[in-house]
Structure 1
Amino acid sequence: MAVKVLVVDDSSFFRRRVSEIINSDPRLEVVGSAVNGKEAVELTNKLQPDVITMDIEMPVMDGITAVREIMKSAPTPILMFSSLTHEGAKATLDALDAGALDFLPKKFEDIARNRDEAVSLLQKRVGELARKRVFMRRSVRPAATPAPAAGRELNKPALGRATTATGTATRPAPRTAAPAKPMARFKSSGKKYQLMAIGTSTGGPVALQKILTKLPANFPYPIVLIQHMPATFTAAFAARLNNLCKIGVKEAEDGDALKPGMAYLAPGGQQMMLDGRPGSSRIRIIDGGERMNYKPCVDVTFGSAAKIYHDKVLSMVLTGMGADGREGARMLKSSGSTIWAQDEESCVVYGMPQAVAKAGISSEDLPLDRIAERILVEIGLS
């Protein structure tokens, strides 16, 4: 069965363009289109699409408000289309915070080097996000049956009995929900660290925010963050995290000295490497390189960290498409460092963590909402 897609944009030209690309893949089908956020909410409830593509700026109801409304009534994977400007970055991050799962530049020439590559990327993103729908819908529970109003108890039939035309018939008593299993308690491995490194892509902005906002201001190590993101977005994302977190967060600059309790986000369009030795290492920002698929690249940063910090790196590979991070994580593991992966159910796209897990590189697969807890236990802060 084809993946059902709802296309939302106030531009008829862009709706038609996106629809043509989606419909050219036999695995995908556009089942409807909307010209504003209000119409998008209504059609989502009516058509039950598997994926929605959403513009941000629209009349009547903007895309961010529409995302919030859809997540309340019918949680659905949403791919935002964004302009690659500072304001566009802020709006896109707001949309992700509201519940959207991913974004792409609205100018297709900014997506890839040629049209065919851009078309393939859009189709692939839609297909990947559709897989998340089943997990999103699981989070929606039917409302509990309201308790009877006061004064009606005397007229209620006896528990476990049903009144019929011929008398009273026995019916099964309602089942009680099974008690929730207690969450496993984490234990520290006892290893000593000098650096934490996290690599991620699709779904990463929300994942990083959930983890980093739970870390205390006295976090004892520097943190390097590699998020696949356009160059115009990383400064806005770093500023957003810095405002939300107790630790400091900044977009990395060439020559930055790594300091405890500070997170350094790799700038988009470039590569971030580490240089020096533990305790006095610095960041090197170099050209992205024409042959590199990812700018920044998790493998590049992880690999340089392995050469300097050897067995003293606590590293994680989070949600993302593809396999970036696998080879860098392999280098870290060979040096004796620790590698964890995000588990499948909590990922937006289980690509990068799956590559690490399947290769036998990660020692633990963790749900997103417990990664911060696991970090604090591991380093002795909990």
Structure 2
Amino acid sequence: MLNRVVVTGMGVISPLGATASAFWRAIVAGESSAAPITHFDASEFRTRFACEVKDFNASAYLDRGDIKRTDLFTQYALIASDEAIKDSGIDLKDMDPFDAGVIWGSGQGGMQTFEDQVTEYVNGDGKPRFSPFFVPKLIANMASGMISIRNGYMGINYTTVSACATSNTAIMDAYNYIRLGQAKVIVTGGSEAPITPASFGGFSSMKAMSARNDDPKTASRPFDVERDGFVMGEGAGALVLEDYEQAVKRGAHIYGEIVGASMTADAYHMTATHPEGIGAAKAMEKALAEASMSIKDVDYINLHATSTPVGDLSEINALLKLTQGEKLKFKMSATKSMTGHLLGAAGAVEAVICLLGMRDQVIPPTINTQQLDPAVHDSLSVVLGETIDAPVKVAMSNTFGFGGHNGIVVFKAV
């Protein structure tokens, strides 16, 4: 018999706040975090704004040694996971450390470290003066390793990489290992620090990002007829997943239960989602089937919708395959309109939104959408402008990534 898996802790560091509670207040208020870039001089770039973590000071959270040894994406991971572990009340003294693990995701890893070290070499005298911390700071699995070292978690430990579906993949894997009895507790989620000249420039050259430089705060506008691309974000989201029986036994607060998860591949294009949403629809269908549900049982969907002309509509087409155009009870929103797109960390922060929406019985909005694309079928209910009160017992989080990765997670109130 498979074990039940619940969420007992959450943590966030984001463009909208450096804790889960601050982040949630801003989401409910419908705030935009987009602003001109401060991380580097972007004056010559096609896009010159992003959703940056504001006023970040690593020394407020980490000691000097950890800061020296880690890239920003790992620092974000440590900060968010610290909050989630504290929130969960997990005490390793009460359990076998080999029953506690970490499965963490990052789509890019230590991009700033890579850029800094290679630039220094190329612009220097040709002598290889690479830092001994270069490789440890760069590699994507170092966030999971450092969370493990920091907390003494000696069980399952690795990193997932599936582009913008990365942290949903991590959550799904953690869910499955606990279901199978291979762990009692797993810290999972994702972190990303992609607002660097090379990473940002690459996305900009693809013309994937909005170029609405005159009005950054309204640039991310999913489903709007004038949407012109996504807005890049950064940060981390962390969840503590736990065996249900253990959580109940120790009297833990339970945010919700993971009841289904699935991945599929579009097998279509390097960067574009399938226009008919075939893979996305199948992933949703399979995740709901695992939960012994159908789309008719869902109350809220946190959409992947990034504000790209093609991607937004492929997700709509995927949903219409499940609903067959029937108007159902679920409502949906695209919260990247507020956070920006956190790439490999997106699924984790959006899981937090799903779980807190269930806790508070509210659905956060899609902001900035002034004129809804007529291709959005009138049977689908997109929450626009302001947070609404609504019963939320089942929430689904959608993520899709370059390479054709589709990752879906379904949450249920306990």
TM-score interval for Structure 1 and Structure 2 normalised by the shorter chain: 0.3 to 0.5
The TM-score normalised by the length of structure 2 is 0.30
Which has the higher relative contact order, 1 or 2, with Cα contacts under 8 A spaced 6 or more apart? 2
- Structure with higher Rg: it is 1
